[in-house]
Structure 1
Amino acid sequence: MRGRVWAAAAVLVGAALSPVTADAAPGTPGATSAGERLIPTLGNGGYDATGYDVSFDYDPGVTTMRSSVVMTARAAQNLSSFGLDSVGQRIESVTVDGVPATFTVDPAHEKLLVTPAKTLREGRTFEVRVGYTADRARKPIPPYYDWPANVPFTWESWAETDSGFALMGQPDRAHLFFPCNDIPRDKARFTFRVTVPRDRQVAANGTLRSLSTRDGLSSYVYGTVTDIPTNVVQVAVGRFTTVEQTGPHGLPIVSHVPSTMGGFRVPPQATEQYGITDANVLPRITEAARRTPEQVRWLEDTLGLPFPFEKYGVLGVVGPYDGVALETATLSTFSAPALALPPEVQSETMVHELAHQYFGDAVSPASWDDMWLNEGHAMYYQNVFGASRGYRNLLDTMRELYQQDQSIRDQSGPPAHLTSPGGILLDTDLPGALTLFALHETVGQQTFERIERAFYLEHRDGSATTADYIATANRVSGQDLAPLLTEWLYGAKTPAMPGHPDWRK
């Protein structure tokens, strides 16, 4: 009897001292911030998103849309709960791997907090399905904006048009469209399923995988082959004409231009200055779209790199995007009336967004402090393109930009360490382009090209930091370029331009 008792005790003690199995391991909540310096509420931890499947049902009579998103992710820890960035939506249901989950909405921090029925083990792939209603009329002010209480918030993230809408998700508004991990370094593949009335068309990132029509409704399915960041997603509904072309190496070029301008009328000054009229505006927009293959070929030759995605094209929308454009992946988005401008005015902007497909979409910033890698490259190559076409003198242009640099630093800080998030989109392009030009003037054309190619190839389909770029420049050049680049990227004062002592700030 005694032996049996001790044997039983030994079994109990052994069980108590044995390591806890993965199935029984306690979980901990995932972080509800990605640690962004400029936008501290943004992003989440504890998982890596690998895919999003987004559905919208569009009804032209209302601003609300029945919607859903399925996020596929991989747990980076034993996960008891996790967050998604989400705002402006009515969340109706949440499941994890098909099992209902507990959820709460935190509008102040723009979060959807999810607690699955069981802990998600580290390394496990799981699916989160969120059913919700999106409302395109809602324009909540981001929590980090110091916006006057009595001034309407006018940023058009849901960009409404006469015949539909488009998206403007940069820098951090993709989670207004669907719950997601809205940070540029957590890239994923996307599928979009959009149902519209038969007289409307849909354009989106990636390629058209299917189109079916039933009971007066058309259902479009688009999808990407490669991972893209959330801030460059695009879904547009409207009345479009599709322009299909072939680019270098058989690259499909599929553009979507308006088939009608709706209530838009050409301003008299555009007629006087550029010869644009209500009668010729649509043909001019189509003509601009048809210049895309030539621009892709030029940039491929300049970089020595093939286009990074499975297809490309331009999207022209009437109404929103007034004066701006966005590098939505595989399908850059423009104000349609702006596309009607002469090539010497508009082509550089088209190349700017095209360059972003490499620097911004294929190689994404690891944080918003690295945004100069996007905007600096885009502005640099748009000016190189303009010089190649005789639209401008590159040296004169860089000198003009140089004279403006200090005022931007005084207002917003240096390009790799802005003083506020308000400068992310508008105050990193000029200083970033000058940084690249300073590097070019220091190492010469051939070494500069080698640095650019090496940096792109090392980080394609991922993200990169400012430190990554400096490290590549040092290694490829065989020089210590850190002092030069650090001064340009982090200095409060505009540095002297290498090779141009006559330039004065």
Structure 2
Amino acid sequence: MRYRSRVTAPAAALLGTATALTAGSPARAAGTGRRTGEPAPETLGDPVFPTLGNGGYRVSSYHLDLAYDPTTKRVECAATLKIRTTCALTRFSLDALGLDIHTVSVSGATAVWEQQQEKLRITPAGPLAADAAVTVRIDYAADPRGTLSHTAWVPTPDGFAICPQPNSAHTVFPCNDHPSDKADFSFRITVPSGLRAVANGLLTGTESLSGGRTAYSYHSVSPLATELVQITVGDYVVKDRQGPSGLPLRDVVPSARAAALEPALALTPGQVSWLEQRLGSFPFETYGLLPCNSDDPNAFDFTGLETQTLTLYKPNFLLQEEKKIGSHMMHELVHSWFGNLVSPATWADLWLNEGHADFYGLLYRYERGWADSLGLTTMEARMKDTYARGDQWRHDSGPVAAPNATNLFDSQRYLGGVLVLYAFRQLVGEDLFHSVERAFLDRFRGSSATTEDYIAVASDVCGQDLSGFLRDWLYGTKTPRMPGHPDWTVTPVTSSLVAPHSRRGGHVHDNSATL
């Protein structure tokens, strides 16, 4: 779940984004003989964020080496990427914004580079052959307090956390910032004594350095989409506990709030067990919560964010009683399967993440008899209410699987997605529905998938062509009839825009209005 505004803007007026060239020789970079290849495309053609991502290569791994200085509040960084070219290239690009680039090298040789809007263009010393394994290193600095038009940085009184979704990982590190290009990640984060650094995956080493500093190293066993990266520094205590089947759980909590947060943290093992019964074994090496040490609404305008293996939360949210937070925690946990294990191939496929997360979050709520935000206590009652809004939502926000950058995170992707899944379950029955869910997760494990992929799996598993049914629900401008409920009606569309969510500004979507 992600609710912060993501509006792209020219980068020349922002920190560290003016066009620049390295000290490397342009003549050497250009070469003296005939060059082979061509500049790589600076887009992956995403329908929601058309300038996001880069073509001509795939990233196999990132290693991020960061050092945080609490005096200056700046971070000195080195990003090492291993990429494989998909065609012969004379130049390629990475997404980057607000980063103070120092040097760039390609396979150990100094490269010419320039920053143009949100792209870091890199010209290696010589052309790159097709299917070549290449190492790219970028040394740079960043300021978590920067005033970018969109940013992943969340400054806190004692450090920072990051929330990259959907298109802001490249304000933290240069990358191919698109969920279709998942890669391995490792991290080394150096902090002064008294602070703790944590990142995705498992702790692989702790090194004591001179000057009272400590370097923490982490590695993600499973590939990550850039939007799911988490790096945090602060006065934290790490609390370990055991989950179902020996799953190691680790929560990263502000030291001063550790005791107060314990009731919420203790809910995770039971929630994992509940969801494993429906979706299969937990897909990653660990899981836990990160109630980041900031309640500033200007820096932290959402409830939770499903960064892989370590879900980011606003601390005060988790201090509420279980019936106020349980379904939201389930929503974020579901993303370990839908969104993290299987990522959206494009941002138009977001409903696969959010529709599934709300679907299981609501089931979890109603099983426990907790009333939702409308005072309803059953899935059927909630879906009848949602169904009545269907044509208005399609009028205001487009079809479920056809968002744009303005309405990407409104309720049509959340509850609208739930309504699609409910209709599908009504059509095929609960057993086939769950078979489709598991087959989809198994088939696209560790990669990304499109809406059409889900439709194809549904048709394969159910033994019938369901493409017409599901496409009508996902792309139609009118709400189809609900299977099993011929009496349900859709409220006529009004001429005025009626916001289908509680907070209509800057992509803010407060999940308390959904669940």
With normalisation by structure 2, the TM-score equals 0.84
CA distance in 2, matches of 1:167, 1:409: 33
Match of 1:486 among 471, 477, 481: 471
More contact order relative to length (CA 8 Å, sep ≥ 6): 2
CA distance in 1, matches of 2:332, 2:488: 29
Question: Match of 1:267?
Answer: none
Contact 1:318 1:337 (8 Å CA) reproduced: no
Match of 2:184 among 171, 185, 189: 189
CA distance in 1, matches of 2:333, 2:408: 19
CA distance in 2, matches of 1:205, 1:24: 44
Question: Match of 1:80?
Answer: 90
Contact 1:198 1:213 (8 Å CA) reproduced: no
Matched, 1:31 2:41: yes
Contact 1:32 1:83 (8 Å CA) reproduced: yes
SS in 2 for 1:421: coil
CA distance in 1, matches of 2:197, 2:453: 38
Q: Deviations over 1:271-302 (max 9, x none)?
A: xxxxxxxxxxx534222112111111110002
Q: Deviations over 1:87-114 (max 9, x none)?
A: 001111000011100101102xx00000
> Once structures 1 and 2 are overlaid, which stretch shifts more, 361-370 or 388-397?
388-397
Deviation at 1:25, TM superposition (A): 7.4
Q: Deviations over 1:310-329 (max 9, x none)?
A: 11111111325344211100
Contact 1:256 1:313 (8 Å CA) reproduced: yes
Give the 5 Å matches for 1:360-375.
Answer: 360-375=339-354
SS in 2 for 1:387: helix
Matched, 1:211 2:196: no
Give the 5 Å matches for 1:4-43.
Answer: 26-43=36-53
The alignment of Structure 1 onto Structure 2 pairs a total of residues equal to: 446
Deviation at 1:58, TM superposition (A): 0.9
Matched, 1:326 2:305: yes
CA distance in 1, matches of 2:112, 2:267: 51
Deviation at 1:24, TM superposition (A): 8.6
Question: Match of 1:422?
Answer: 406
SS in 2 for 1:376: helix
The residue type paired with residue 173 of structure 1 is S
| RMSD, aligned α-carbons | 1.6
Contact 1:253 1:312 (8 Å CA) reproduced: yes
With normalisation by structure 1, the TM-score equals 0.85
Question: Match of 1:306?
Answer: 281
CA distance in 2, matches of 1:116, 1:178: 19
Unmatched segments (≥5 aa) in structure 2: 1-32, 371-376, 491-515
Deviation at 1:377, TM superposition (A): 0.7
CA 1:160–1:408 in structure 2 vs 1: closer, same or farther (change >3 Å)? farther
Contact 2:330 2:364 (8 Å CA) reproduced: yes
SS in 2 for 1:414: coil
Matched, 1:225 2:186: no
Matched, 1:290 2:286: no
Contact 2:77 2:139 (8 Å CA) reproduced: yes
Runs of 4+ in structure 1 deviating by more than 4 angstroms, as ranges, are: none
Deviation at 1:137, TM superposition (A): 2.1
Identity %: 40
The residue type paired with residue 163 of structure 1 is D
Give the 5 Å matches for 1:90-239.
Answer: 90-107=100-117, 110-141=118-149, 157-214=152-209, 215-239=211-235
SS in 2 for 1:431: helix
Task: Look at both structures and tell me which one has the larger radius of gyration over its CA atoms.
Answer: 1
Give the 5 Å matches for 1:386-465.
Answer: 386-391=365-370, 392-418=377-403, 420-427=404-411, 428-465=413-450
CA distance in 1, matches of 2:94, 2:329: 33
Q: Deviations over 1:57-113 (max 9, x none)?
A: 111222321111011111111111100000001111000011100101102xx0000
CA distance in 2, matches of 1:36, 1:323: 25
Contact 1:405 1:430 (8 Å CA) reproduced: no
